Amino acid sequence: MISLLIKSNSRLNVKQKGFTLLEMVIGFIVLSVSLSIVVNVLSPLTIRSVEPVLQVRAAELAHGLLEEISAKSFDEQSTVIFGNARCGETGLGANNCTTIPACVTPGVLTSATEEASRNDYDDVDDYHCLSQSGSAILNGQGSNLAIYQGFTVEVIVGYDGNMDGTTTTAVELAKLITVTVTTPNAEAFVFSNYRFNY
């Protein structure tokens, strides 16, 4: 019986293992502060990791559009048939080149854009003041480009014979084509190309 009392007393003297309520609350507070610091450090990195993808898509969109526009005729008065006079060659009987007005409102057709549908665009001036965004962004065949949701693209065409980057309404031998692509995170990228009267 004495041995039983000794065994039961030894069990009572054993310290219990585990956490107290106070230790658990302090642990949760430390864990939540640590997690908030980690999240604040990592969240800008996730935003930055998307930016290169958007920049590449903007460059691809602008490059494709510039190629499409540059493949068109210099002017409505020019022909693509070899041997005919270029617009402005009045000594050869050609018509004067088209005057390009300023683009006041992107997306609104100007007097230089004589075709109402993009499928009918046959010269560089037809793209002047073109503005498309989201699901309205189309390729040259009129198909929707779904990967450009949230993007906006605008095109400005103007004469720039001295190639200083400043367009004018006066007729000159070169046209500056400027494509501005705005990504979903509101970054604007400007791309340009010259089309010469040849």
Least Cα distance to 106 among 173, 168, 176, 153 occurs for 153
DSSP string for residues in 82-122: TTSPPTT-GGGTPPPPPPPPP-SSTTS--TT---SSGGG--
Q: Give the residue, 109 or 193, on which the prediction is more confident.
A: 193
Please tell me the predicted confidence (pLDDT) of residue 12: 53
Could you tell me the pTM of the whole model?
Answer: 0.71
Query: Which H or E element spans position 47?
Result: helix 21-70
Judge whether 166 and 156 are in contact, CB under 8 Å.
Answer: no
**pLDDT range class, residue 187, cuts 50, 70, 90:** very high
pLDDT of 129-147, one tens digit each?
888 888 888 776 667 777 8
Number of neighbours of residue 60 by Cβ within 10 angstroms: 14
pLDDT of 16-51, one tens digit each?
677 788 888 999 999 999 888 888 877 776 666 678
**pLDDT range class, residue 11, cuts 50, 70, 90:** low
CA of residue 34 relative to chain centroid, distance: 36
Judge whether 103 and 110 are in contact, CB under 8 Å.
Answer: yes
Q: Give the residue, 65 or 93, on which the prediction is more confident.
A: 65
pLDDT of residue 178 exceeding 90, the answer is yes
